[in-house]
């Protein structure tokens, strides 16, 4: 930017230059060390990196020379020279594995030893007990991090531990999306935890928790070659698979696999998705979802099926599949129908009660793709149960998740019994929900395709074509989910929505 004569580039350089200059001059007066200043700017003003981090990443010596030259030329906001420590010829930055630079202050040992003898004073992180809850605190540039010992690792997931018997599963995919390979990794992790560990925690090394299913893989799988298709039909299917792959930014290898049909079949992937959700629910050890940031679609479904959710306050949780013309098919619709039935039974004192008022609220959240703007709101919307925990500091999330796991283990944890008698709203509930949607359609608040999606969600959550109050099991609802998911995926308007999302990163309303 400094070399570019464009006015905007010069403005940006001048802004960064004066910020760097000011921070270097005032560091000794306003903070104990460079770490504190960078964190104050990051947390207080929403910067991704602090001023000293940016300076260090850009090349400390080169930037220091430019600042000094601009000060000498009268271009800087202040004519005060950089402090001696900032202009040291051997300095490469202020953040190192030993700690962050602490400038000398009047009367301090640093002034007597550091400046006189040329020593650099680096302050390590605080060891106060309050910080021990942060197993992996917010990192700065130059600080190393080691995420425990690996149990097993693939290209998509890693199972590890921190020296105890609690297994931690982290995804490695972009935005921690859920692919067929991630599903395989979760199933393997549950098996490993049941065999050798006391609990399993789903936790990502950084936000988000999960942006949901891998849409690219879904659309590749739906274009599976038909055995009875002629040459022209097979070529068209291959072209469609390649089209979705290109729209999703797939690499050369993915394009070749799409063209040759070497992709997982979508219905098998959906069935495996449901299998994973059920394994998380009925595992022989506690499963904990440690959620921070986005937990959308499949990420929300997995967290709801875990024994406990430990969510940071700044979590955004929701079932958003309607945005791409689909419905939650990883157990989301089933779980909401089950929770509505449980709430009706609880509020009626165990006698059953009217399920529809509770179901209607959950239906509205799914049909409108509503996302909770905080963990507290997620509890109000039913994504979190009363037993789930909310943590203010996201860096304490893993610590609290481990404490929850230990508490469950200490009380001789046993998985819940499978639900075989779930009362459903049946045909009456479906008709009532459809009537409400007809009014929205006539008023042009929703499109024809939105109405079709809503009808299929209603049929799934109400238990299908059965009498009101009929008792079904979880598998019945899962089968309905999968059936209606595949029916929607076969429509052109849903495929248009998915392709638009892959290309543009935002939903299409058709």
pLDDT band at 267; cut points 50, 70, 90:
confident
Name beta bridge partners: 169: 159, 202
- 27: which 2 tokens? 């560091």
> Residue 326 in contact with residue 488, Cβ under 8 Å?
yes
Checking phi first, is residue 293 left (phi over 0); if not, alpha (psi -120 to 50) or beta?
A: left
Choice between 441 and 220, residue whose per-residue pLDDT is larger: 441
> Residue 150 in contact with residue 129, Cβ under 8 Å?
no
Q: How large is the C-alpha radius of gyration of the chain?
A: 28
The pLDDT of 105-115, averaged and rounded, is 43
Closest of 82, 95, 72, 89 to residue 23, by C-alpha: 82
Could you give the C-alpha distances from 26 to 29, 77, 82, 148, in angstroms and in order?
A: 5, 14, 10, 38
Q: Cα-Cα-Cα-Cα dihedral of 418, 337, 307, 316, to 10°?
A: 160
Least reliable range by pLDDT among 343-357, 360-374, 439-453: 343-357
Kindly report, residue by residue over 297-310, the tens digit of the pLDDT. Answer: 999 999 999 999 99
Mean pLDDT over the full length of the chain: 88
Q: Burial-class residue 100 by CB neighbours within 10 Å (0-12, 13-18, 19+).
A: buried
Q: How far apart are CA 246 and CA 217, in angstroms?
A: 12
For 220-369, strand residue ranges (E) read 287-296, 308-318
Least reliable range by pLDDT among 37-51, 136-150, 320-334: 136-150
Its CATH architecture, for the domain 149-215+266-504, is Alpha-Beta Complex (3.90)
DSSP assignment letter at 418: P
7-97 in CATH: which number?
A: 1.10.1040
For 63-112, strand residue ranges (E) read 95-96, 99-101
Helix (H, G, I), strand (E, B) or coil at 477: helix
Q: What pLDDT, on a 0 to 100 scale, did the predictor assign at position 403?
A: 97
Query: What's the whole-model pTM score?
Result: 0.86
Phi and psi at residue 466, in whole multiples of 5°?
-135, 165
- 406: which 2 tokens? 């230990």
């Amino acid at each position: 930017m400094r070399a570019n004569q464009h006015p905007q580039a010069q403005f940006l350089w001048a802004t960064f230059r004066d910020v760097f200059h000011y921070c270097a001059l005032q560091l000794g007066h306003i903070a104990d060390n460079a770490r504190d200043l960078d964190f104050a700017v990051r947390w207080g003003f929403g910067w991704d990196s602090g001023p000293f981090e940016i300076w260090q990443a850009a090349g400390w010596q080169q930037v220091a020379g430019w600042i000094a030259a601009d000060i000498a030329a009268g271009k800087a906001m202040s004519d005060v020279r950089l402090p001696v420590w900032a202009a040291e010829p051997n300095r490469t930055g202020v953040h190192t594995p030993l700690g962050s630079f602490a400038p000398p202050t009047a009367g301090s040992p640093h002034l007597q030893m550091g400046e006189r003898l040329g020593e650099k004073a680096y302050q390590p992180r605080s060891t106060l007990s309050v910080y021990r809850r942060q197993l992996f605190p917010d990192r700065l540039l130059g600080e190393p991090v080691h995420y425990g010992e690996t149990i097993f690792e693939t290209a998509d997931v890693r199972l590890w531990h921190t020296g105890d018997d609690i297994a931690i599963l982290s995804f490695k995919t972009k935005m921690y999306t859920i692919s067929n390979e991630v599903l395989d990794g979760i199933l393997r992790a549950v098996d490993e935890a049941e065999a050798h560990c006391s609990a399993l925690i789903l936790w990502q090394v950084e936000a988000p928790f999960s942006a949901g299913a891998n849409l690219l893989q879904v659309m590749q799988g739906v274009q599976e070659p038909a055995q009875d298709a002629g040459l022209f039909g097979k070529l068209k299917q291959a072209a469609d698979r390649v089209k979705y792959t290109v729209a999703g930014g797939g690499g050369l290898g993915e394009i070749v696999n799409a063209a040759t049909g070497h992709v997982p079949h979508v219905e098998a992937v959906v069935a495996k998705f449901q299998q994973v959700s059920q394994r998380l629910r009925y595992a022989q050890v506690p499963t904990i979802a440690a959620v921070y940031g986005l937990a959308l679609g499949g990420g929300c479904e997995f967290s709801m099926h875990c024994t406990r959710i430990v969510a940071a306050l700044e979590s955004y949780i929701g079932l958003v599949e309607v945005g791409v013309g689909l419905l939650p098919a990883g157990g989301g619709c089933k779980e909401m129908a089950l929770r509505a039935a449980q709430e009706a039974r609880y509020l009626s004192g165990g006698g059953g009660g009217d399920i529809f008022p509770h179901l209607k609220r959950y239906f509205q959240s799914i049909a409108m793709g509503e996302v909770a703007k905080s963990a507290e709101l997620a509890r109000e919307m039913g994504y979190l149960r009363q037993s789930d925990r909310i943590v203010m500091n996201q860096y304490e999330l893993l610590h609290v998740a481990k404490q929850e796991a230990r508490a469950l283990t200490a009380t001789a944890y046993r998985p819940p019994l499978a639900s075989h008698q779930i009362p459903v709203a049946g045909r009456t509930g479906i008709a009532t929900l459809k009537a409400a949607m007809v009014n929205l359609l006539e008023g042009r608040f929703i499109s024809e395709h939105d109405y079709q999606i809503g009808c299929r969600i209603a049929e799934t959550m109400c238990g299908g074509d059965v009498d009101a109050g009929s008792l079904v099991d979880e598998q019945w609802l899962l089968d309905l989910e999968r059936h209606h998911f595949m029916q929607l995926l076969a429509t052109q308007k849903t495929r248009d929505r998915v392709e638009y999302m892959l290309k543009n990163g935002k939903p299409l309303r058709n």
